Structure 1
């Protein structure tokens, strides 16, 4: 038994080493796996309605493609224009801070931040001007490297192909993995897999819908108020909502500064607060109970720690993977805690027959 345990540990370590070694080529497969996981329930439902698996997968694949393409065509041009406006208005915003805000701070606190702000302003303007040059230089270097450009395009083209075949054989792959498990491990493994599936489904489907709805509420509300960059601020706030309360904090702070700079009216600031307050009300009373409930069960502090730890260890990829991995780890820890509470290690007076009794 001990030998089998060491073989299992060595196999897991070898697998981790292998995946870390090929990490640069995993991106299209990871994205395809997420898309296939999100689309499989809909494909199963179409199968239950009488469609063949191939036809069901084709319909789901077409819907996913349409959603992604329409999002890119509609949102990216608008975001591009608003980002361009931010670039143009940055010097004016910095001049306003220097001429209006700093004198107020000096009169209220007696602290003169003029010299430090001048240095910060110059650094920001220099780097901001260099952004376009840097992007052009980077694009030129990528274009000159035919191999790198071909690899990038190839990885991008792999995503729809791999997604289609994963969707087509998803149930077969799951059945083969289950059939390969040791027989005495299968009940516990299937139970854990089912709980992990519930948590991941709640997160990937529920949390993404919550983020999208909040982004739309914030973007539409700010745009109707006439706030500049309302679409950009709203969507970024929705994305930041992956961390509890971060989206509303970031959104109301940025929108408040932009609104005050644009209108100089305290009533407009209250209106901006009302937009974000309405979003939080909808999230707490409708979106969270209906889409997430208590399936994830991650404490807000645990969410913040997971995101920061993932970013520190694996960069942007770690941030994306932090919460799904944390949710799975939570399920495993809950399972281990349950066994620990029923073990003699927790209660030395427990008799063996007590552990087997319900």
Structure 2
């Protein structure tokens, strides 16, 4: 609940001022959108590393030393992940392209006849895997042609190359300064706030940080852990596309059970096409069963907790809406904006339930003598007890 001493920053005389300020900030962000991406990426990276910096500081290290250690660790981790993942993903995509004809043969030679015999259906005339494979290859070639065209156009523009290189070079530099000077920047921003609104903004900012931190840091750890479990497990049981399926399942596991459903469906099809026996199918089911047990009873309770405040549907909508409205920058800002919206929504709900519009201060109207009401019926005039 809001303390009684907190002044109302949204009184009638200030309401239009806040609306004008919010509109001005929105227009400014929209105009500066093309150059904000490296700064947003740097801010998110600095924010992700802030808890570790504070832990190192708590052990007696200076802020600069702690930032240098965390920054070096994050840089090495990112470089190592890129060096390991790019060859693996490239190899898996090549295997997937080579696997498509085998999938077509399995679909027409095994799956469709089994379904027709089992369910007494006629499916052969409606399923033509050759057209599906040709369509996929056509889109792949078109995507490659578009990429080649874009690269060719970019290569003709030295300014575009310089712009991309400058953005990439800015990210580590700005990340380091955000990690080192972020606390002082926030302190100066807090000093600029109007005094009546400063306590409320500080409280909402702290709540937003807790909600966003609980979701992004925890869920990102769960996604990495599940992707690793699925990829290693599927590869160990002999699925050629195990790494690709595990990575995809891990990426979409920010929605509960979606990663398991997508990954299990793809792994079952890949196993039936490659092996076609019950033993490998049981091993695949065991891998995903183990992954779900670890997620439900250990990973999610330990890394995420139960006080996130962001519903999976809200996360999906926020990411899609951000990408539609502002492109890649909108995707980056989707979850922070969603977290702030959740906290502001809670505050608005508190204000609404205490307002005259909600009627919290008004006693309910009880019709005397109506059915279902407690208490004695009204006395007739003149009657005395």
TM above 0.5:
yes
* Greater RCO, 1 or 2 (C-alpha within 8 Å, sep 6+): 2
Q: Deviations over 1:164-203 (max 9, x none)?
A: 1111111101111221222122222221111111111111
Tell whether the 8 Å contact from 2:354 to 2:360 is kept in structure 1 after alignment. Answer: no
Between the aligned partners of 1:216 and 1:205, the Cα distance in structure 2 is 17
What is aligned with 2:274? 262
Matching of residue 54 in structure 1 with residue 69 in structure 2 = no
- Structure 1 residues 158 and 113 mapped into 2: Cα distance closer, same or farther (>3 Å)? farther
Matching of residue 212 in structure 1 with residue 221 in structure 2 = no
What is aligned with 1:152? 164
What is aligned with 2:111? 101
What is aligned with 1:66? 76
CA RMSD between the two structures: 2.3
Deviation of residue 67 (structure 1)? Answer: 0.7
Classify the secondary structure of the residue corresponding to 2:255.
Answer: coil
Q: After the TM superposition, which of the residue ranges 87-96 and 111-120 deviates more from structure 2?
A: 111-120
Between the aligned partners of 1:302 and 1:159, the Cα distance in structure 2 is 29
Question: How high is the TM-score relative to the length of structure 2?
Answer: 0.84
Classify the secondary structure of the residue corresponding to 2:254.
Answer: coil
Deviation of residue 319 (structure 1)? Answer: 4.6
Matching of residue 347 in structure 1 with residue 359 in structure 2 = yes
Higher Cα Rg, which structure = 2
What is aligned with 2:196? 184
- Structure 1 residues 40 and 115 mapped into 2: Cα distance closer, same or farther (>3 Å)? closer
Deviation of residue 138 (structure 1)? Answer: 3.1
What is aligned with 2:373? none
Deviation of residue 103 (structure 1)? Answer: 3.8
Query: Which of residues 82, 86, 99 is equivalent to 1:76?
Result: 86
- Structure 1 residues 115 and 79 mapped into 2: Cα distance closer, same or farther (>3 Å)? closer
What is aligned with 2:32? 22
Tell whether the 8 Å contact from 2:223 to 2:254 is kept in structure 1 after alignment. Answer: yes
What is aligned with 2:290? 278
Tell whether the 8 Å contact from 1:102 to 1:113 is kept in structure 2 after alignment. Answer: no
Tell whether the 8 Å contact from 2:112 to 2:123 is kept in structure 1 after alignment. Answer: no
Question: How high is the TM-score relative to the length of structure 1?
Answer: 0.90
Classify the secondary structure of the residue corresponding to 1:109.
Answer: coil
Between the aligned partners of 1:255 and 1:137, the Cα distance in structure 2 is 35
Between the aligned partners of 2:61 and 2:133, the Cα distance in structure 1 is 62
Classify the secondary structure of the residue corresponding to 1:191.
Answer: helix
Matching of residue 335 in structure 1 with residue 347 in structure 2 = yes
Structure 1: tracts of 5 or more residues without a match: 352-358
Structure 2: tracts of 5 or more residues without a match: 1-10, 364-385
Classify the secondary structure of the residue corresponding to 1:295.
Answer: coil
Q: After the TM superposition, which of the residue ranges 134-143 and 111-120 deviates more from structure 2?
A: 111-120
- Structure 1 residues 146 and 113 mapped into 2: Cα distance closer, same or farther (>3 Å)? farther
Tell whether the 8 Å contact from 1:57 to 1:167 is kept in structure 2 after alignment. Answer: yes
Between the aligned partners of 2:125 and 2:164, the Cα distance in structure 1 is 46
Deviation of residue 118 (structure 1)? Answer: 4.5
Deviation of residue 136 (structure 1)? Answer: 3.4
Tell whether the 8 Å contact from 2:353 to 2:360 is kept in structure 1 after alignment. Answer: no
Q: Deviations over 1:85-136 (max 9, x none)?
A: 1122223322432343334444431234356555433322323344444433
Tell whether the 8 Å contact from 2:37 to 2:329 is kept in structure 1 after alignment. Answer: no
Q: Deviations over 1:48-106 (max 9, x none)?
A: 32222222211111111011011111122111111111122223322432343334444
What is aligned with 2:4? none
- Structure 1 residues 253 and 318 mapped into 2: Cα distance closer, same or farther (>3 Å)? farther
